[in-house]
Amino acid sequence: MQEILYLEKFGKAFVPKKFRPELRDYLFKAGIDEVPYKFFGGLFWVTLVITYIIYFTAIFRAISEMGSFVVLIMTFISWFTIQTVMSFLIIMGVYLYLNIKIYNRTKMIEEALPEYLILVSTNLKGGLSFEKSLWAAIKPEFGILAKEVTLASKKVLTGNDVKDALEELGRKYDSPSLRRSLNLIIGEVESGGRIVEVIDRVITNLKKTAVLKQEMAAATVTYTIFMIAIVIFITPALFALSQQLLQIIINVTKQLAGATTSGVMPISVGEAGIDPKDFKTFSVIAIGIISTFSAMIISIITRGDVKGGLKYIPIFIGSALSLFFVFSNILGKLFGGIA
C-alpha cells in the first residue's frame, strides 16, 4: 500500500535537501531518530482527500452552472487555496505537538540533572577520571538524560573531545540551566581546577532553583484557580446568558412590531439587527480565543514559559465550549416561556 501511494517519495519531495539536516536535528530533540518521510507523504494524501471532499460538497455546486473556462479557473484557485490552508493547519498542528514533546523532554532532563551530577561527583571522589565518572553515572532511571549522555559517550569513543560532546548536548536543548551547568563544568575541566567542588555547587544551585520554582508556583495557585474559574465557568455562562437575552429581545421586538402594524401602538418598532446564529458563532470563536490565551497566561504565571501551556489549550477550549452548550440548553429551557 505504501509503495502504491509513494508515501516516502512524496514526503521527500516536500522537504528540500538543504532543510533536511536541520529538520533531522529538530526531530531528534523530540526523540524521533529518523525523518518520517512516509508520515509526511501520508499527510499530503490526507490534505488531498479533505480538499476533494470540501470542493465537491461546497464549491462545485456553486460554480457548476458557470462557463467551462470559469469553472476551470475557479477549480484551480479553490483547490490550491484549500489544500494550502489545510497543509498549513496540519503542519502547525504537528509543529505544536513536536514543540510540546521537546519541552517535556527538556523538563525531564532538567529534573534528572541534579541526581545525575550527584553520582558523577561521587564517582570523582572515588578516584575515577572525569570521563569515566560521566559514563559510570548513567542509570536507566535518568531516562532521556541517560540516553543523551550515552550518545555523548559514543561520540567521545569515536574520537571527539569530551568538551565538544558536552557543549553539543548543552546546545541541543533550550534549557538555560543545563547549558550553564555544563559550561561551568567544562570551564573547570579545561582550567584543571577542583571539578568536584564546582559540580557540588552546581548541584546546590540546581536544587535551590527547583525549590524556588515550586514556591513561585505555589504562590500563584490562587490566581491560577481564579483564572480557570473565569475561563471555564463564568465566561461560557455569560455568553450563554447573553444569547438567551438576545433571543428574548428579538421575540419581544417582533411582538411589538406586530402590535405597531395592527395599529395598537402609535410608535414604530424595528426588528433587532443581530442574528442569534451569528451571535452563537461569535461566542464560540470568542470562547476559543479566550481559552487559548488564558492557558498561555496561566503557564507563564506558574512555569515562566508559554510552551508549558500549549498542551492545556485543547482541555480549556473543550471544557469551556462544552459548558457553553450546557448552559445554553439549561437557560433556553428556563427562559423558554418568556415572550
Query: Which residue, 237, 203, 232, is CA-closest to 116?
Result: 203
| pLDDT tens sequence across 147-187 | 888 888 887 777 777 778 888 888 888 888 888 888 888 88
State the total domains in the chain: 3
Same domain for 90 and 152, yes or no, is no
Highest-confidence range of 20-34, 137-151, 254-268, by mean pLDDT?
Answer: 137-151
Judge whether 339 lies within some domain.
no
Query: Which residue, 313, 246, 254, 314, is CA-closest to 282?
Result: 246
- Band of residue 6 on the pLDDT scale cut at 50, 70, 90: low
Judge whether 325 lies within some domain.
yes
Same domain for 238 and 311, yes or no, is yes
Same domain for 180 and 235, yes or no, is no
Same domain for 184 and 225, yes or no, is no
Range of the domain at 293: 220-334
H helices, E strands: number in the chain: 15, 0
Judge whether 141 lies within some domain.
yes
Same domain for 51 and 99, yes or no, is yes
Amino acid at 127: G
Same domain for 125 and 200, yes or no, is yes
Same domain for 82 and 153, yes or no, is no
Collect contacts of 308-316 with beta carbons under 8 A, ≥24 apart: 308/103, 308/107, 310/96, 310/99, 310/100, 310/103, 311/100, 316/231, 316/232, 316/291, 316/292
In the predicted model, what is the mean pLDDT of residues 95-109?
86
Domain boundary residue among 186, 212, 238? 212
| pLDDT tens sequence across 201-232 | 888 888 888 888 788 777 778 888 888 899 99
Distance CA 78, CA 63 (A): 11
Residue 197 has pLDDT above 80, yes or no: yes
Same domain for 263 and 319, yes or no, is yes
Domain boundary residue among 85, 104, 123? 104
How many residues make up the chain in this entry?
339
CA 28 to chain centroid, in Å, comes to 18
Looking at per-residue confidence, does 273 or 134 come out higher?
134
Same domain for 12 and 116, yes or no, is no
- The three-state DSSP-derived secondary structure of 275-300 is CHHHHHHHHHHHHHHHHHHHHHHHHH
The pLDDT of residue 236 is: 93
Same domain for 148 and 93, yes or no, is no
Residue 339 has pLDDT above 60, yes or no: no
Domain boundary residue among 76, 104, 132? 104
Distance CA 103, CA 175 (A): 9
E-assigned strands of 112-193? Answer: none
Judge whether 78 lies within some domain.
yes
| pLDDT tens sequence across 278-304 | 888 999 999 999 998 888 888 888 777
Same domain for 330 and 224, yes or no, is yes
| pLDDT tens sequence across 44-94 | 888 888 888 888 887 777 777 777 777 788 888 888 888 888 888 888 888
Judge whether 235 lies within some domain.
yes
Angle at 76 between CA 75 and CA 78, to 5 degrees: 65
Q: What does the mean pLDDT of the chain come to?
A: 81
The pLDDT of residue 319 is: 92
- Band of residue 277 on the pLDDT scale cut at 50, 70, 90: confident
The pLDDT of residue 324 is: 93
* Contact criterion met (CB below 8 Å) for 312 and 295: yes
The pLDDT of residue 4 is: 52
